Structure 1
């Protein structure tokens, strides 16, 4: 019943203009306020508020995430070329995408633990170099089975990038600027797609041109690794280690077990949410180039141009919606974006001309990736502070694993059904399949976000390192209700009415909770 009540309060919060905001003090207690949103801050002022160290960490994290995205799309955007090169169907080629997505969660667990234990620097450096080496290995694969095995290993490497890169990018960002910078960071993925599409356009449509994409991806990954190597370790991680005692591997394992026991609800919720998100993006983008080549009969150059503009819309949308989430609230911004996607599906799949497809693709991806723009900061805010790298990376990649068959399912359903296109030719039904699937996923994502927690403004700075005894104290403090609250609800179910009469200096409702809010 507690979870149902939590969900009811979360839904009610969506219809209140006063927003739930959570901060965490040094004892691990959560301070919940309901505040009237102020006018969206000047984005120029937000950008100027970031220190030089913060900008350096942010840009390197963004570069690593962009290189990771380019590496992934070097395969998905060349499905037709690779199908011709290996002499197999497009659906079989998409098996490589499925394997990559499935194994990313394993990589996220491995590299996430390394990042929370050893720090952000060396795990991410090694991770990027592994990706570069596997890109080169893909080029020299003598057979399809060997290529498939290399891409499976590639998935392990890809899994470790997101959590470490997001942590590095956002840990040094002021609270007010998080929404904007989260939106920009997430679009490193879309930017990687744009770069891949531009490269594909530049190399032409010849089947023999496919290795060039992998060479470019390898160069980017090696460069990102070197950039991370020369940048200092996370300031917060160093200070947490220096100011904490009792650091040990056994302590890390103990803290991790306690975290899972106490935070399992938010972990499960986050995995479900991220599975919807990954279905959302992979269903609406991975087969879109194939849809334009096969269903709309565009040539390689036209399809590449349309893909570039589509993902340009994603970059712009992620930035805008991420920025406005600081004003609207994280979940409300996601839900509005999902609603707009449903409205734009006809404009996305029905046009017959290159310009029409470009316009529809731009607007749909504006809101698909607009919703995604909120994800890095949202996951970081609801995550257990001492385990941010593994929580963000693993929940994201487990969602990826659940959505792993998405591209293969879309290709299989589309190839097994046919429609007549605008020329009267019978073609694979990519348009209807992608449209129906995207609408279903957008609704599921919106409903899931509606029942989740909101912790806009949660502190990134006060947690001890995961290897220290203090981390156990913080986690325990967050779990144990104080005497003042033992007789009342201390979870997500705390509502604005429960806080009535508890006014802060600025007139906002306020209370101190001693338990993490769960979905």
Structure 2
């Protein structure tokens, strides 16, 4: 195969060498790409980024079934976000209802985030082994039932127990949702669709805030918001039953036929972790920063406006809605731009601009000013997040595209789980004088300093990390576990084993970048 592109040095090996090469590549507009020709030979070359295409034409590339998978994944992720934020935006109500401090109430957020990683491992691996459909159905229906159980929690201890169990099932949604939604997308449309998909999280926040605004500020009104969340989650689960399994999973299952042994799949999981442990650690570290980023900048923002800025429930909720509307817009736009600008560059620029906006975010007074500043900082916070679904999918080992993003994301969630609790604990111990001359918890300074530190961590971690933009999901072959099962159960001779190993390695490296 001939090419007109300029040849490049091979991908670096080793942690320090890879970090050095990644940093240097950040300042080169062309992209380092590993290309495999028809003969199986590989070489590395510089390729110019593909030009941005009309987003309407990109979305038109998805067929009816592709859109079906995408929309179901988006709805599942939106319902998941609604269920989580139904608690965070009503912290003040719940504190009054259970006669506890706001820091005590955020313990439930910590427990939820802590146990999401366990759910991600269980349901993510189930998604890779049994398919995307039924693990998601179970997840969504149980989540709805747990929302109802939260409503009937009479004591604070019961409330914490239910929210802990809620986190276990909540963790299984993300990996299966993004795998189902994005693995069916054409390569050049993934940046745009990734940005739209990730904003299901912000959209869930917007719907939860609208529900909170609709029910008013009375203490018992939090229950109505949870009833709405229960209906959405159960509804998505029932709708998912009506639609087919993921095309990629069906084709992989057909290729393997007998690959149903749980022992084989766990063997391959351990093999993947042994081979890809550095990538796993990097992605967990990156997602720890990102989860601190979102939860620190949003979970206590409504409380900040109610206490430090003296807003009533209605204007504070309206400001929160506009804040997350900015997140929806920013995530979609920057996810789309990452297709041309590069995944890492898009993340770094977004994090830098969000840090620059921190003073304008916490210093203004009044609903209008807080709405505008909240809109723009979340535009860039969730703009960086809009790149994450496709970035994690492209970095994932081929056979674990359901479990790898979910597990790394939720382990990052687990490590960052005390974020809201930390913000509340620090803020309630430090008082600042408000514009009305009253002393109030220092939510603004606490969130501002924490967000600045976190944005800096994201910039540094991303600058020295890998990127595999443009990876061809459809060319990675069936899951490794399928090939391994076929080897064990049917018996290959040595030459066949070597041929299959070479084919899988070629598929993994095709069209991947540094």
Give the TM-score of the pair, scaled to structure 2.
Answer: 0.91
Pair 1:116-2:128 in alignment: yes
For 1:34, what is the secondary structure of its paired residue? strand
Partner of 2:279: 266
Partner of 2:490: none
Q: Which structure 2 residues correspond to residues 14-93 of structure 1 after superposition, within 5 A?
A: 14-21=26-33, 32-93=44-105
| Partner of residue 216 from structure 1, selected from 214, 224, 228 | 228
Pair 1:158-2:200 in alignment: no
For 2:402, what is the secondary structure of its paired residue? helix
Q: Give me the whole-angstrom Cα distance separating, in 2, the residues matched to 1:278 and 1:257.
A: 26
Q: Give me the whole-angstrom Cα distance separating, in 2, the residues matched to 1:237 and 1:411.
A: 43
Distance 1:440 1:30, change over 3 A: farther
Partner of 1:386: 399
Distance 1:272 1:158, change over 3 A: same
Q: Give me the whole-angstrom Cα distance separating, in 1, the residues matched to 2:180 and 2:40.
A: 22
Q: Which structure 2 residues correspond to residues 302-381 of structure 1 after superposition, within 5 A?
A: 302-381=315-394
Give the TM-score of the pair, scaled to structure 1.
Answer: 0.90
Is the Cα contact below 8 Å between 2:127 and 2:135 reproduced in 1?
yes
Offset at 1:250? Answer: 2.5
Is the Cα contact below 8 Å between 2:471 and 2:512 reproduced in 1?
no
For 1:468, what is the secondary structure of its paired residue? helix
RMSD: 2.3
Q: Write the deviation string for residues 313-349 of structure 1: whole angstroms up to 9, x where unpaired.
A: 0000000000000001101100000110111001110
Q: Give me the whole-angstrom Cα distance separating, in 2, the residues matched to 1:436 and 1:322.
A: 26
Q: Give me the whole-angstrom Cα distance separating, in 2, the residues matched to 1:45 and 1:3.
A: 39
Q: Give me the whole-angstrom Cα distance separating, in 1, the residues matched to 2:45 and 2:232.
A: 44
Q: Give me the whole-angstrom Cα distance separating, in 1, the residues matched to 2:41 and 2:129.
A: 24
Offset at 1:27? Answer: 11
Distance 1:377 1:478, change over 3 A: farther
Partner of 1:468: 482
Q: Write the deviation string for residues 364-401 of structure 1: whole angstroms up to 9, x where unpaired.
A: 00000000000000000010011111101000000000
| Partner of residue 186 from structure 1, selected from 198, 207, 211 | 198
Is the Cα contact below 8 Å between 1:125 and 1:229 reproduced in 2?
yes
Q: Give me the whole-angstrom Cα distance separating, in 1, the residues matched to 2:108 and 2:509.
A: 47
For 2:479, what is the secondary structure of its paired residue? coil
Structure number with greater CO (CA < 8 Å, separation at least 6) is 1
Q: Which moved more, 1:35-44 or 1:366-375?
A: 35-44
Partner of 2:433: 420
Q: Which moved more, 1:1-10 or 1:440-449?
A: 1-10
For 2:49, what is the secondary structure of its paired residue? coil
Partner of 1:228: 240
Partner of 2:3: none
Is the Cα contact below 8 Å between 1:244 and 1:470 reproduced in 2?
no
Q: Write the deviation string for residues 257-293 of structure 1: whole angstroms up to 9, x where unpaired.
A: 1111110000000000000000000000000000000
Partner of 2:151: 139
Where in structure 2 are there 5+ consecutive unaligned residues? 1-12, 488-496
Q: Write the deviation string for residues 178-202 of structure 1: whole angstroms up to 9, x where unpaired.
A: 0000000000000000000000000
Partner of 1:503: none
Offset at 1:2? Answer: 2.2
For 1:233, what is the secondary structure of its paired residue? coil
Q: Give me the whole-angstrom Cα distance separating, in 2, the residues matched to 1:85 and 1:465.
A: 50
Q: Write the deviation string for residues 29-87 of structure 1: whole angstroms up to 9, x where unpaired.
A: 97754211243111111011111000000000000000000000011110000000000
Give the paired residue count.
489
Distance 1:216 1:349, change over 3 A: same
Q: Which moved more, 1:123-132 or 1:13-22?
A: 13-22
Q: Give me the whole-angstrom Cα distance separating, in 1, the residues matched to 2:294 and 2:74.
A: 19
Offset at 1:478? Answer: 8.8
Q: Which structure 2 residues correspond to residues 389-400 of structure 1 after superposition, within 5 A?
A: 389-400=402-413
Q: Give me the whole-angstrom Cα distance separating, in 2, the residues matched to 1:270 and 1:30.
A: 26
Offset at 1:150? Answer: 0.2
Q: Give me the whole-angstrom Cα distance separating, in 2, the residues matched to 1:445 and 1:103.
A: 24
Partner of 1:200: 212
Q: Give me the whole-angstrom Cα distance separating, in 1, the residues matched to 2:41 and 2:243.
A: 33
Q: Which moved more, 1:31-40 or 1:193-202?
A: 31-40
Partner of 1:493: none
Is the Cα contact below 8 Å between 2:34 and 2:513 reproduced in 1?
no
Offset at 1:423? Answer: 1.2
Q: Give me the whole-angstrom Cα distance separating, in 2, the residues matched to 1:232 and 1:79.
A: 39
Q: Write the deviation string for residues 376-434 of structure 1: whole angstroms up to 9, x where unpaired.
A: 00000010011111101000000000100000000000000011111111111000000
Partner of 1:411: 424
Partner of 2:142: 130
Is the Cα contact below 8 Å between 1:22 and 1:32 reproduced in 2?
yes
| Partner of residue 301 from structure 2, selected from 288, 292, 296 | 288
Offset at 1:24? Answer: 7.7
| Partner of residue 168 from structure 1, selected from 180, 186, 208 | 180
Offset at 1:142? Answer: 1.4
Partner of 2:292: 279
Is the Cα contact below 8 Å between 2:471 and 2:511 reproduced in 1?
no
Where in structure 1 are there 5+ consecutive unaligned residues? 483-511
Distance 1:96 1:478, change over 3 A: farther
